[in-house]
Structure formats: C-alpha cells, structure tokens
Amino acid sequence: MKVRAHVLSKITSTLARHDIAASALKAFAGFELADSDYQSLAPVDFLLGSDYDLTVLTGQKMFDNQGNIIAISTIFGWVITSIVTTGCSSTTTMHMAIDIDESLRRFWELEDVNQEFLGKPEDDVVEQHFVKTHTRDSKRRYVVELPFKNCKEQFSDTLQGALTRFRGVERRLKKDPNLHSQYVQFMRD
C-alpha cells in the first residue's frame, strides 16, 4: 500500500487506556491483534486518514450475540471496534468561530506605520527618563535606571485584612499536616 505520509515527532498525547473485561476478550483467543500490546499506554505509531479505510480492511468481521460488529480484520491484524467497558468516558469538544474580516482589519491597523500613537502623559515621562538615563554596558546591553514615582500614596489601614488572611491560611494548614510541612519548608527556602 502506498501512502503519502507526514513524519511527525508526535501525533497526539498518549491516549487514556480503557480496561476491557477479560471475559469479553475470550472471543479473540488465537486472533492476531493489530496492537498486540493493547494493555499498556504507548504513543500512537501512525494515523491513517479515512481515504485508506477500504485499502486496510480485509473484509472479515466478527459479531457479538446482538449482531453488532465488535472486530474487523485488517492488513495489520484484528481491530476491536466496540466492547462495552466498565468505566465511563467523556468527550470534550471545543469550537471557535473567527471573523476573518475583523481579524485582518485589526492586523492591518496594527501594521499601519502612518498611524499616530496617542499615549498617556506618563508615557512621555517614561520616554524622557529613558533618554536621560540609558547607557550601554561592556556587553553592549542597555542599562536603564528604574523610574520611581515621587508621589507618596497613602494606604488605608491594611494590617487587619492581612492578619485575617494570615490566620485563615494558618487554620487551613493545621487541617493538613502534609501541606503545613511543605509550606514551612517553602518559607524556610
């Protein structure tokens, strides 16, 4: 079989393994399975598109008592298609709709070099600070003094709020000794 392939370092993350009851697998005793090591977690080896379905299938099928297909023979071996598992599985689907016209318009607005920048007054102060204080060191890196605001802001009394939060953390840590020891070790570090 000839295929057009894309060689990737990783196709997808390791998929969750679903345990299959041993009694359900008795029907496949002696069958050569496409994945002989299906019990263990392993990366996906290859992924074939649906355009190769008919090329891969050999035509043999195995049915359960209700007439549902549960195994199909392929050129790689038998593939188990559906067996009722004991656990529950969940599927998450994400969808995003993008307005391409709006995205392109915003992109071109950002790229427009003729657009005038309307900054805040503090932006001018910061630019003047950079011009006055920047230098280059021996490795040709920029060195700029940190700009500090001169105004002294008055804070309301925050001690009581901080103490309340601290006591809440202490109560939570007393309930979990392991978390408490990790917290103490972190604070020591």
Amino acid letter at 31?
F
Q: What is the pLDDT of residue 51?
A: 79
Q: What is the pLDDT of residue 185?
A: 92
Tokens of 83: 């067996």
For the ranges 106-110, 150-154, 170-174, the maximum mean pLDDT occurs at 170-174
Q: Of 57, 85, 113, which residue constitutes the final position of a domain?
A: 85
Average pLDDT of span 28-35: 78
List all residues 6 or more positions away from 89 whose beta carbon is below 8 Å from its beta carbon: 16, 18
Does position 164 have pLDDT exceeding 70, yes or no? yes
Cα-Cα-Cα-Cα torsion 95, 101, 103, 106, nearest 10 degrees, comes to -160
Average pLDDT of span 170-174: 90
Range list of H helices, 37-145: 53-56, 100-111, 121-133
Indicate whether this model's pTM tops 0.85.
Answer: no
Within-domain flag for 114 = no
Q: Quick check: 57 and 25 in contact, CB under 8 A?
A: no
Does position 67 have pLDDT exceeding 70, yes or no? no
The whole domain housing 166 covers: 159-188
Q: Of 52, 85, 118, which residue constitutes the final position of a domain?
A: 85
Q: Of 32, 50, 85, which residue constitutes the final position of a domain?
A: 85
Q: What is the pLDDT of residue 84?
A: 55
Number of separate domains in the chain? 2
